[in-house]
Amino acid sequence: MKLDLVFKALADPTRREILRLLNSGEMTAGQLADRFDISAPSMSHHFNVLKQADLISARRDGQLIYYSLNTTVFQDILTRMFSLLEPGAEAEERRGR
């Protein structure tokens, strides 16, 4: 997991809203898109940024793509943000923990 990608992914209100929606359970790409007044290509971009950051996972079922929240990854980020302010955290980050 790369912290840079995670924070870049979180630096957008639409992507934070997607994460919160997925907190209630998995949703299809279409169901998510219905909640935003955003073009399909832009929604795809947001999904890809969140996937690259490993914040969400995708599974295909026929023609449908289901997205779900990677809850453990999100919790790991919060733990690492806390540790950002403790000695020795950077060493852990450099080791790619």
The contact set with a copy of itself (CB under 8 A) reads 3-8, 10-13, 16-17, 19-20, 23, 69, 71, 74, 77-78, 81-82, 84-87, 89-90, 93
Classify 23 in phi/psi space as left (phi over 0), alpha (psi -120 to 50) or beta: alpha
**Cα dihedral 46→47→48→50 (10° resolution):** 90
Q: Which is nearer to a copy of itself, 5 or 62 (CB)?
A: 5
Pick from 30, 10, 15: nearest CA to 80: 10
Q: Which is nearer to a copy of itself, 4 or 37 (CB)?
A: 4
Least Å distance between CB 85 and a copy of itself?
5
